[in-house]
Each structure stands twice: as C-alpha cells, then as structure tokens.
C-alpha cells in the first residue's frame, strides 16, 4: 500500500458489450497512471476517450473489467477509500427539491461530517462560492453557473484530500471561473490533490502542473505541462536585416517563419547559434526585436497526440 | 456505528424531502386527513348508559340502537379493507418512482462517490420510503382509533394491527418495487407489476375453485406453485379483517404470512444484488 500517490492504477480496463455480446468496446484499455499526492493533474482527451469511465471506475460507479485502482493506497472499491475524495460530476443532477444548504447538509452527512461541523461548514462554503444569500433557495431556482458553484461547495464540504472535478467551470461566467481558479489554487497550497477532467485546454494549461491525454481508451501522453509545452531552440526577430545577411543567417537556422511588418524571424536549435546570429546582426547595425525560447501550447500538444498533427510526438 | 446511523438518517431525510416534493404524497396524506375529519365531524354517536342510542351520519339518525362494539368492529374492518385495497395501491403508485429517481444519471455517480456501501445506500432509500408510507398509515389508523375511542369509549387494540399488517404488505411490495427499479429504472414498470400482482392475488387465492376448474394435474400444480410463490395480498387482507373483527384466523394464515415475507426478502435481496453489480 503506497499512499504517496493520490491515484494509482495498474492495467485498468473497462470493456462494455453491445447487445447480445456481439461486439466489445474497450472504453478504457490497460491504463496505468500515477498521480502524486498534492499534484494538480489534468485529464484530457477527445469525446469518447474514456475519461469519464476512468473517473467512474475510480469512484466505484463502474466496476473495472481488469486491473486495479487505488486512492491513497486503498482499493477504490472500498467505501473507506472514497472518504478523502470530493467529487463534482460533469452532468450533475442535484435534487431540485433541496435548498442549497439542505443539499450541502445531506451530502456532508453522507460523507461522515458531524452535525456540529456541518452547521459551521455550510455557511462558510456558501460564502466561499459566492452563494451566501442563496442557501435557503431551492436548487430548482439556481442558474447553471450557480449549480456548478454549489456543486463545488458540495465537493469541498468534508475537507477532502483529493478533489476530482469533471468540467468544473462548465456554464460558469468568466468572473466565476476566476473565482473557482482562486479557490483551487488556495486548495493546492493546502496540499490538496486536484484532478481535473476538462475540455478547456487553456484552463488546464493555466492551472494544472501535470497532464495525461487519453485517446481511444489508452494513455497517449503524460507528463508535466511545462515539459510538454516547452519547444526546442530559440526564435530571433530583427528589423532592417539586409538580404545578404538574411541568406547567411538562414544557413545555420532550423526554420524561418514568414516575415511580418518588415520583421525578419529566424529559428535556431542551439543557444550558441542564436548568440552568433545576434553578433552578426549587431555588426550589421540591425535592430533586434526579440529573442525567445520556442514554446508550444497544450492545444498543439493535444492535437499532435490525438490527430498526429505537426507538433510534439505522442509518447505514452 | 454512529456515522452509519447518521448516514442512514441523511438518506431517510432525503427520501422524505423528495416524497413530500411530489404532489401525489400530499394527496395521499390529504386523503387520510379527510377520512379522519369525516369521522371527527360527520359521524355523531350518542351513548346512553354505555350502549349506543343513535348514530347520526350527515344529519340522518338511525332508528334503532346499535351495539357500539359491533359498530367499532365494522368501521375498523372497513378501514382495514380500504387500507388493503386503495391505501396499498396509492402507496405503490406514490412510491414507484422513488427508486428509479435515485439512479438518475448525474445523481447516482455523486451518491456512489460518498464513503458508503451500495447496500447501505439502497437500504437507506428502502427504509426512507417505508417510513414515509408508515407515517401516513399510522396517521390514518391511530387518528381513527383515537376518534372512535373518544366517541364510543371502546379502545380496541386489535384495530392497531391494521397498521402493522398494511405496512408489512407494503414492505413486501416495496421489495419488488426496489428490484424492478434497479433492473429497469422505470417508474411505470415499478408500479404496474406490483399492482398486477395485487389484482391477481384474489384470483390465485381461490385455490379450491381453481382445482375443480383445471382439468390436468400439471396445470393444478402450476397454479399452486404460482400461488405459493407470489405474495398473498388477498389472504393477508382477509386475515387482518378477521383479526380486527375478533374472528378466528383462516386456515394456513401464518403460512401465507411466512411465504409473503419470504417473497419480499428475496425481491429485496435480488434488488441489492443487482444494484451491487451494476455499472452507472
């Protein structure tokens, strides 16, 4: 039992069968994944990649066909393993007959929070998610964004050590998104492991330090966002570069993007080559606009992984 | 242990909230209250020296005196029959959707992510529904018992047995509703099958007549098999009526109770087993 990992799966597989067992569908296929305690982890993948099935298996809503999954070292099928988990499902359906406070009270009791603690936590959390005035209003009157925020409060009510959020900012306005991000950043500082399943790559890139990309039920790529999005080499921009010098610089460059507004851009794969080019440009009295390390975006990495487009190679 | 009890209370409270949010349950309670009000205000009984002189209903008075004990037995028997027919049907109708609603996508995943076993979750819902219906039955039966007791001075505890027996047969039917709910997540089916069994029960109870009418031995055996396997709603209703009227229980009554209880247990255990293995 290793509780250094918040989530640890080994060969986790889920097979669904079509009617009369005519054809098998491998929703998740031999997935082995480790999420360190205290990490901020993003799970990405196109529709049907197996992300939700993976989460359902972790939370025992679906039984694995093969393999194992552990949460803080405990087999995920044990109810006790879920005591430290806070979960916000994607298409949640909170009971509309409950008020916001009533719903929080119910789910807190199911999570083992004592009555005394519930009375203290519920107003705190409603205030945290900006719904202080809405606690006594039935959930049927809440907007999509408000339901999402009260859902986040529900996931936090028992002070979980692992927070699993499925599309947490779905339907939330930009101000609400920033607020949610602030709450999550604060939880990260407290050492809570945050596991996000989201289609919003920009948000994941902004918040998560590690990601995994699932594709057709398999783990296509995993690693630190910083490493995955860092490009190789440097890009140099300069103005008033004579054509003869441009030709000279291109000999040692790896590529040259199309010039824009009279700016000559050139890419080098090593720092030495970039420095040499700067020396040549300074000698020719050219104006250097910028020098930056090449970077990629998570979106480019994602597309390269699932569609094989130009970018970083997909490596599990 | 304390946490488990708190979880059970939370599940029961949630079921009460959901039930009361549905108008059908208010109708159910409203009907019981109307029945109580009827006996409270409409039925007027005059007693002279411990014997009933007259009974007034809607202002019309009976010509001759009635034995108060007999009147109480007749009224209680009538209510017991009402509970067995309309009461049970209404309870099944009102609660048929409460198991499928628990399994709605987006709700069940969240419930299953909590640190409680699936058995605990489903039994909590079962208990919640049972208590919602029990509250209504107790309200009706005890309310009428008190009113009749005050008006006639006769406090016959036999009538209170109607509470237990009505709740028992509902608990059996709820076992079936639970199994159907987790199998097909259909409120309509969860209502239709128990109601069909209730309608079938008086026919199956005519065992001797059926034995005469059926020509072959295998068909008689099949009839008996079906009769013994299915819940004996009619037999239990008859038995309760006999008990309330202080008449001897019919032959084989306790066997009917035992086999009906077994049916309920098997259905509930089946529901728990299916629920424990299902993917959501």
* Three-state helix/strand/coil letters over chain A: CCCCEEEEEEEEEEEEECHHHCCEEEEEEEEEEEEECCCEEEEECCCCCCHHHHHHHHCCCCCCCEEEEEECCEECCCHHHHHHEEEECCCCCCCCCCEHHHHHHHHHHHCCCCHHHHHHHHHHHHHHCCCHHHCCCEHHHCCHHHHHHHHHHHHHCCCCCEEEEECCCCCCCHHHHHHHHHHHHHHHHCCCEEEEECCCHHHHHHHCCEEEEEECCEEEEEEEHHHHHEEEEEEEEEECCCHHHHHHHHHHCCECCCCECCEEEEEECCHHHHHHHHHHHHHCCCEEEEEEEEECCHHHHHHHHHHCCCCCCCCC
First to last CA, chain B: 28
Classify B186 in phi/psi space as left (phi over 0), alpha (psi -120 to 50) or beta.
beta
Chain A residue with the nearest C-alpha to that of B7: A110
Chain B residue with the nearest C-alpha to that of A104: B10
Identify any residues that bridge with B48 across adjacent strands, giving them in sequence order.
B51
Q: What is the pLDDT of residue B56?
A: 67
Whether residues B106 and A91 touch (CB distance < 8 A) is answered with yes
Q: What is the pLDDT of residue B79?
A: 81
Nearest Cα residue to B148 out of B94, B68, B89, B223? B68
- Residue corresponding to tokens 């719903």: A103
Classify A20 in phi/psi space as left (phi over 0), alpha (psi -120 to 50) or beta.
left
Interface mutation vs chain B, best among A13, A61, A151, most B CBs within 10 Å: A61
Residues of B in contact with A94 (CB under 8 A): 107, 110
Whether residue A12 contacts residue A57, with contact meaning beta carbons closer than 8 Å, is answered with: yes
Residues of A in contact with B17 (CB under 8 A): 95, 97-98, 102
Distance separating alpha carbons of residues B4 and A300, to the nearest angstrom = 49
Torsion of CA B123, B128, B130, B131, to 10 degrees: 140
- Given CB atoms, is B17 within the 8 Å cutoff of chain A? yes
- Given CB atoms, is A15 within the 8 Å cutoff of chain B? no
Q: What is the pLDDT of residue B54?
A: 66
> Closest partner residue to B110 among A89, A109, A112, by Cβ?
A89
- Given CB atoms, is A116 within the 8 Å cutoff of chain B? no
What's the mean pLDDT in B125-138? 95
DSSP 8-class letter at B247: -
Identify any residues that bridge with A3 across adjacent strands, giving them in sequence order.
none
10 Å Cβ neighbour count for A183?
A: 19
Whether residue A34 contacts residue A73, with contact meaning beta carbons closer than 8 Å, is answered with: no
Identify any residues that bridge with A212 across adjacent strands, giving them in sequence order.
A43, A222
Distance separating alpha carbons of residues A171 and A104, to the nearest angstrom = 20
pLDDT(B3) > 80:
no
Radius of gyration of chain A (CA): 25
More confident residue, B256 or B211: B256
> Closest partner residue to A59 among B13, B14, B113, by Cβ?
B113
Q: What is the pLDDT of residue B127?
A: 97
Instruction: Let me know if A68 is exposed, middle or buried by CB neighbors in 10 A (0-12, 13-18, 19+).
Output: middle
Q: HSE (CB half, 13 Å, CA atoms) of A52?
A: 17
Interface mutation vs chain B, best among A77, A110, A112, A197, most B CBs within 10 Å: A110
Give me chain B's average pLDDT, please: 88
Helix (H, G, I), strand (E, B) or coil at B69: helix
pLDDT(B208) > 90:
no
The whole-angstrom distance between A263's CA and the closest CA on chain B is 54
Q: What is the pLDDT of residue A313?
A: 43
Return all residues near A171 (Cβ < 8 A) that are at least 6 apart.
A143, A144, A145, A147, A148
Q: What is the pLDDT of residue B114?
A: 96
Residues of B in contact with A107 (CB under 8 A): 110, 114
Q: What is the pLDDT of residue A263?
A: 86
Helix (H, G, I), strand (E, B) or coil at B93: helix
Whether residues A97 and B21 touch (CB distance < 8 A) is answered with yes
Summarize pLDDT for B18-28 with one digit per residue, the tens: 998 988 788 88
Whether residues B117 and A79 touch (CB distance < 8 A) is answered with yes
Chain B residue with the nearest C-alpha to that of A99: B17
Helix (H, G, I), strand (E, B) or coil at B53: strand
Nearest Cα residue to A102 out of A128, A126, A129, A86? A126
pLDDT tens by residue, chain A, 316 residues: 567 899 999 999 999 988 777 789 999 999 999 999 999 999 999 988 999 999 999 999 999 999 999 999 999 999 999 999 999 998 899 999 999 999 999 999 999 999 999 999 999 999 999 999 999 999 999 999 999 999 999 999 999 999 999 988 888 888 888 889 999 999 999 999 999 998 888 889 889 999 999 999 999 999 999 888 877 788 899 988 888 888 888 888 877 776 667 788 888 888 888 899 999 999 998 889 998 887 778 888 898 888 875 444 444 4
pLDDT bin (cut points 50, 70, 90) of residue B55 is low
- Residue corresponding to tokens 């298409």: A91
Interface A-B, measured as beta-carbon pairs within 8 A, has a size of: 86
Nearest Cα residue to A161 out of A184, A190, A193, A186? A193
Strands A162-166 and A193-197: parallel
The whole-angstrom distance between A103's CA and the closest CA on chain B is 9
Q: How long a stretch of residues is chain B?
A: 280
The whole-angstrom distance between A114's CA and the closest CA on chain B is 8
Whether residue A100 contacts residue B137, with contact meaning beta carbons closer than 8 Å, is answered with: no
What's the mean pLDDT in B199-222? 87
Summarize pLDDT for B58-117 with one digit per residue, the tens: 666 665 666 777 777 888 888 888 877 888 898 999 899 999 999 999 999 999 999 999
Chain A residue with the nearest C-alpha to that of B278: A62
Whether residue B43 contacts residue B60, with contact meaning beta carbons closer than 8 Å, is answered with: no
- Interface pTM, i.e. ipTM: 0.85
Whether residue B198 contacts residue B89, with contact meaning beta carbons closer than 8 Å, is answered with: yes
């Amino acid at each position: 039992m290793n509780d250094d990992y918040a989530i640890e799966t080994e060969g986790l597989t889920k097979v669904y069968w079509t009617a009369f067992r005519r054809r098998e569908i491998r929703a998740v296929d031999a997935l082995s994944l480790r999420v360190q305690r205290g990490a901020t982890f993003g799970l990405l993948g196109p529709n049907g990649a197996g992300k939700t099935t993976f989460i359902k298996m972790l939370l025992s809503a679906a039984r694995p066909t093969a393999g194992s999954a552990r949460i803080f070292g405990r087999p995920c099928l044990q109810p006790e393993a879920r005591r430290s988990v806070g979960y916000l499902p994607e298409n949640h359906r909170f009971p509309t007959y409950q008020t916001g406070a009533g719903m929080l009270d119910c789910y807190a009791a199911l999570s083992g929070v004592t009555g005394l603690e519930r009375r203290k936590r519920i107003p705190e959390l409603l205030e945290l998610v900006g719904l202080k005035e809405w606690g006594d209003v039935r959930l049927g009157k809440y907007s999509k964004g408000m339901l999402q925020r009260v859902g986040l409060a529900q996931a936090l009510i028992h002070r979980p050590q692992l927070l699993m959020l499925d599309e947490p900012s779905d339907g939330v306005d930009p101000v609400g998104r920033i607020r949610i991000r602030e709450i999550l950043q604060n939880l990260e500082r407290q050492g809570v492991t945050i596991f996000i399943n989201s289609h919003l790559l920009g948000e994941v890139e902004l918040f998560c330090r590690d990601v995994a990309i699932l594709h057709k039920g398999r783990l296509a790529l995993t690693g630190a966002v910083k490493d995955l999005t860092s490009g190789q080499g440097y890009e140099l921009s300069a103005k008033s570069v004579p054509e003869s010098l441009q030709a000279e610089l291109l000999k040692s460059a790896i590529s040259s993007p199309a010039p824009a507004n009279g700016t000559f851009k050139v890419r080098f794969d090593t720092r030495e080559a970039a420095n040499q080019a700067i020396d040549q440009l300074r000698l020719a009295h050219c104006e250097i606009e910028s020098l930056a390390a090449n970077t990629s975006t998570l979106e480019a990495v994602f597309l390269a992984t699932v569609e094989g487009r130009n970018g970083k190679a997909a490596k599990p | 242990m304390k946490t488990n009890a708190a979880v059970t209370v939370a599940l029961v409270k949630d079921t009460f909230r959901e039930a009361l949010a549905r108008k059908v349950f208010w109708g159910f309670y409203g009907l019981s209250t109307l029945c109580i009000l009827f006996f409270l205000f409409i039925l007027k009984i005059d007693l002279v020296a411990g014997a009933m002189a007259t009974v007034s209903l809607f202002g019309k008075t009976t010509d001759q005196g009635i034995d108060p004990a007999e009147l109480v037995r007749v009224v209680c028997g009538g209510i017991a029959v009402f509970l067995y027919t309309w009461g049970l049907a209404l309870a099944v109708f009102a609660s048929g959707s409460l198991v499928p609603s628990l399994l709605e996508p987006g709700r069940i995943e969240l419930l299953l992510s909590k640190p409680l076993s699936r058995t605990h979750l489903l039994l909590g819902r079962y208990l919640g529904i049972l208590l919602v219906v029990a509250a209504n039955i107790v309200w009706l039966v005890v309310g009428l018992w008190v009113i009749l007791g005050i008006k006639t001075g006769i406090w016959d505890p036999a009538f209170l047995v109607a509470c237990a027996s009505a709740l028992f047969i509902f608990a059996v039917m709820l076992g079936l509703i639970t199994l159907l709910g987790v199998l097909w997540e259909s409120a309509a089916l969860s209502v239709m099958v128990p109601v069909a069994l209730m309608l079938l029960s008086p026919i199956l109870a005519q065992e001797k007549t059926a034995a005469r009418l059926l020509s072959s031995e295998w068909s008689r055996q099949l009839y008996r098999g079906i009769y013994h396997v299915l819940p004996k709603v009619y037999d239990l209703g008859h038995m309760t009526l006999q008990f309330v009227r202080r008449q001897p229980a019919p032959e084989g009554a306790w066997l009917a109770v035992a086999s009906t209880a077994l049916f309920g247990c098997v259905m509930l255990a089946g529901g728990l087993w299916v629920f424990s293995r299902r993917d959501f």
